[in-house]
């Protein structure tokens, strides 16, 4: 099972890519743990997770081909 | 709309299906407050004034600087050093003299926010820091006012409509439902640190104006309880739906008294860390009448600065001296920039501080060196 990740803002400075495919994750907690391993600099970074365009605040089950967006806060104006 | 003048001015939008003279009347009766007359605020203000929003408030205590102009083309090079709120209002009055402008040439704080915001129907957040963003969000929840949010970073922008009660009775979402707590110090870089494509706040601020006009006139589908992200590099829009987060309600002050006791600057510690400024910014601030400059070197230290007006308050007595000033900005300098950074930190730690405190990076020696180089070129 694989999910598509879209990364926004300065998080792309950490991942180097705006789009990633991550496999073998069943829920958002597992996804975050896997991202933390792949990109140690992402540990502690502030962002919200949206699963299929719906923001989630608790651990959420992922389905094959789900699209997950990682959105950091912006302050600039 | 009785006058021919008004009819002509708005004729291209009153022609629109679903807008008409009724929509125009709604705009003329509306009161919109724009917080921050910078990259987001300028385009929002221009289009709201042009569209005929009857009452517009502008909050900003900053002055125009050279590095603002690439993204704030409402201002010109000749406006450098002038107050943004007053300068913007002057230009907007020329654009549309039918509008009533309210200028608040002050920094929004928890003590003045509720009073400033109360008379307005819709609040637009065009600020440039998390302290103001959380303050504005919480005040909008407390006063029960819709908030049109916009923010930018590098090549991307975010737009949302918060705290708007739709007719379908779905609960209104606010910024804290998305990000319950402000980021910690240096967790997220601002425009000054991370950079921003000049046209980007132009796009996002214009979209904030568009969302505001939709909310007032009741046309279309505004971004209520949604966050829209725009990426200028690949032209991609990405919209996500938001929902209330039960845990965040307790973070928002429930009463006027609770709100006024909040220290948003402290909450967003990053905004309280003194910023080091370079020689160019220092020279801009020398010319700014709302800035005082303080030499914190001991009285025996050379060279004596005669090139610009300043006060000399050595570090050893700075704490006793307790700077009593109305100046919005304090700039401290020393020989090499390290003592002045410590002085700036201490000045920021003073209670009820809302002013900006800066330290000259590299100190006065580097400043003199650079100016001597300029003279010899």
Domain ranges of chain A: 2-71
State whether residue B229 sits within 8 Å of chain A by CB: yes
Chain B closest-CA separation from residue A41 CA (Å): 12
Query: pLDDT tier at B191 (50, 70, 90 boundaries)?
Result: low
Percentage of chain B surpassing pLDDT 70? 91
Question: What CATH number is given to the structural domain containing B183?
Answer: 3.40.50.720
Q: Which residue among B129, B178, B196 sits closest to A48, beta carbon to beta carbon?
A: B178
Q: Which residue among A45, A57, A76 sits closest to B153, beta carbon to beta carbon?
A: A76
Question: What CATH number is given to the structural domain containing B316?
Answer: 3.40.250.10
Whole-angstrom Cα distance, residue B188 to residue A2? 30
The SS3 of residue B154 is strand
Query: Number of C-alpha atoms within 13 angstroms, CB side, residue B4?
Result: 0
Per DSSP, what are the bridge partners of residue B227?
B160, B240
Are B220 and B278 within one domain?
A: no
Provide the pLDDT for residue B355: 73
Whole-angstrom Cα distance, residue B327 to residue A38? 49
Chain A closest-CA separation from residue B188 CA (Å): 7
Provide the pLDDT for residue B356: 81
The SS3 of residue B359 is strand
Are B172 and B74 within one domain?
A: yes
Chain CA centroid to CA B105, Å: 12
Three-state SS for B38-58 is: CCCHHHHHHHHHHHCCCEEEE
B91-112 pLDDT, tens digit each: 999 999 999 999 999 999 999 9
Nearest by Cα to B131 from A75, A62, A16: A75
Query: Which positions in chain A touch B130 (Cβ < 8 Å)?
Result: 73, 75
Q: What ipTM was predicted for this assembly?
A: 0.95
Whole-angstrom Cα distance, residue B364 to residue B145? 48
Are B9 and B95 within one domain?
A: yes
The bridge status of strand B291-295 relative to strand B311-312 is: parallel
Judge: B191–A76 Cβ closer than 8 Å, yes or no: yes
Lowest mean pLDDT among B34-38, B107-111, B191-195: B191-195
Are B279 and B244 within one domain?
A: no
Nearest by Cα to B61 from B105, B101, B22: B105
Chain CA centroid to CA A56, Å: 11
Provide the pLDDT for residue B185: 61
pTM tops 0.90, yes or no: no
Residue of B nearest to A47 (CA): B179
Are B235 and B284 within one domain?
A: no
Q: B interface mutation test: which of A18, A48, A52, A77 has the most B CBs within 10 A? A: A77
Asked if residue B351 has pLDDT above 50, the reply is no
Judge: B128–A75 Cβ closer than 8 Å, yes or no: yes
Lowest mean pLDDT among B143-147, B209-213, B299-303: B299-303
A13-72 pLDDT, tens digit each: 999 999 999 999 999 999 999 999 999 889 888 999 999 999 998 999 999 999 999 999
Provide the pLDDT for residue B3: 57
Query: pLDDT tier at B338 (50, 70, 90 boundaries)?
Result: confident
Are B126 and B216 within one domain?
A: yes
Domain count for chain B: 2
B216-225 pLDDT, tens digit each: 999 999 999 9
Count of Cβ atoms closer than 10 Å to residue A44 Cβ: 8
B260 lies in some domain = no
B11 lies in some domain = yes
Q: Which residue among B128, B229, B247 sits closest to A76, beta carbon to beta carbon?
A: B128
Query: Which positions in chain B touch A54 (Cβ < 8 Å)?
Result: 240-241, 243
Judge: A75–B129 Cβ closer than 8 Å, yes or no: yes
Two structure tokens written together for A2:
């694989």
Chain B closest-CA separation from residue A39 CA (Å): 16
Region of residue A66 (left: phi > 0; alpha: psi -120 to 50; beta: else): beta
State whether residue B240 sits within 8 Å of chain A by CB: yes
State whether residue B251 sits within 8 Å of chain A by CB: no
Are B296 and B174 within one domain?
A: no
Give, in degrees to the nearest 5, the angle at Cα B334 between B329 and B337. 85
Question: Whole domain around residue B222: which residue ranges?
Answer: 4-248
* H helices present in A1-77, as ranges: 11-15, 28-38
B73 lies in some domain = yes
CB B340 within 8 A of CB B334: yes
Cα torsion B205, B209, B215, B220: sign: negative
Cβ neighbours of residue B272 closer than 8 Å, sequence gap 6 or more = B265, B266, B348
Write down the CATH superfamily of domain A2-71: Beta-grasp domain (3.10.20.30)
Query: pLDDT tier at B76 (50, 70, 90 boundaries)?
Result: very high
* Mean pLDDT, range B20-47, rounded to an integer: 97
Are B18 and B161 within one domain?
A: yes
Whole-angstrom Cα distance, residue B85 to residue B72? 13
For residue B297, what is the enclosing H or E element? Answer: none
Nearest by Cα to B135 from B59, B227, B217: B59
Are B30 and B141 within one domain?
A: yes
Count of Cβ atoms closer than 10 Å to residue B196 Cβ: 24
CB B222 within 8 A of CB B214: yes
Mean pLDDT of all residues in chain B?
Answer: 90
Total residue count of chain B as it appears in this document: 377
Provide the pLDDT for residue B250: 81
Which tops the pLDDT comparison, B342 or B322? B342
State whether residue B206 sits within 8 Å of chain A by CB: no
Whole-angstrom Cα distance, residue B210 to residue B148? 10
Query: Which positions in chain B touch A6 (Cβ < 8 Å)?
Result: 238
Q: A interface mutation test: which of B183, B240, B245 has the most A CBs within 10 A? A: B240
Provide the pLDDT for residue B270: 46
**What is the signed CA dihedral for B113, B114, B118, B122, rounded to 10 degrees?**
50
Are B93 and B197 within one domain?
A: yes
């Amino acid at each position: 099972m694989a999910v598509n990740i879209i990364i926004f803002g300065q998080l792309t400075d950490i991942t180097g890519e705006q789009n990633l495919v991550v496999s073998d994750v069943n829920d958002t907690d597992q996804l975050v743990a896997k991202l933390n391993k792949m990109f140690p600099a992402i540990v502690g970074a502030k962002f919200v997770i949206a699963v299929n365009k719906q923001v989630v605040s608790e651990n959420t089950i992922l389905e094959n081909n789900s699209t997950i967006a990682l959105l950091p806060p912006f302050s600039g104006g | 709309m009785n006058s021919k003048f008004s009819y002509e001015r708005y004729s291209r939008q009153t022609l629109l299906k679903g807008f008409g003279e009724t929509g125009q009347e709604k705009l003329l009766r509306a009161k919109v407050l724009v917080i921050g007359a910078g990259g987001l605020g300028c385009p929002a203000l221009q289009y709201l004034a042009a569209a005929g929003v009857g009452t517009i408030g502008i909050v900003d205590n900053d002055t125009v600087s050279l590095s603002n102009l690439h993204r704030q083309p409402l201002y010109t090079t000749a406006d450098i050093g002038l107050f943004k709120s007053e300068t913007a209002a002057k230009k907007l009055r020329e654009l549309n003299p039918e509008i009533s402008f309210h200028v608040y040439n002050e920094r929004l704080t928890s003590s003045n926010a509720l009073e400033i915001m109360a008379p307005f129907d819709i609040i637009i957040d065009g600020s440039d820091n998390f302290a103001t963003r959380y303050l504005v969000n919480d005040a909008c929840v407390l006063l029960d006012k819709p908030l049109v949010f916009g923010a930018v970073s590098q090549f991307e922008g975010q737009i949302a409509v918060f705290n708007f009660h739709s007719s379908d009775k779905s609960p209104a979402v606010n910024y804290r439902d998305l990000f319950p707590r402000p980021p910690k110090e240096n967790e997220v870089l601002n425009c000054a640190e991370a950079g921003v494509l000049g046209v980007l706040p132009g796009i996002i601020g214009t979209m904030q104006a568009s969302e505001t006009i939709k909310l007032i006139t009741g046309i279309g589908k505004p971004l209520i309880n949604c966050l829209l992200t725009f990426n200028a590099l690949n032209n991609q829009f990405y919209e996500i739906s938001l929902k209330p987060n039960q845990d965040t309600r307790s973070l928002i002050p429930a009463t006027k008294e609770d709100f006024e006791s909040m220290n948003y600057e402290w909450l967003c510690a990053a905004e309280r860390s003194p910023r080091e400024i370079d020689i160019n910014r220092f020279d801009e601030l020398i010319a700014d009448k709302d800035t005082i400059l303080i030499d914190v070197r001991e009285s025996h230290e050379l060279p004596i600065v005669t090139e610009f007006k300043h006060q000399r308050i050595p570090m050893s007595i700075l704490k006793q001296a307790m700077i009593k000033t109305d100046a919005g900005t304090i700039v401290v300098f020393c020989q090499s920039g390290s003592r002045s950074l410590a002085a700036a930190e201490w000045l920021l730690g003073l209670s009820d501080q809302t002013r900006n405190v800066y330290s000259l990076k590299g100190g006065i020696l580097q400043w003199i060196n650079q100016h001597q180089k300029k003279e010899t070129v």
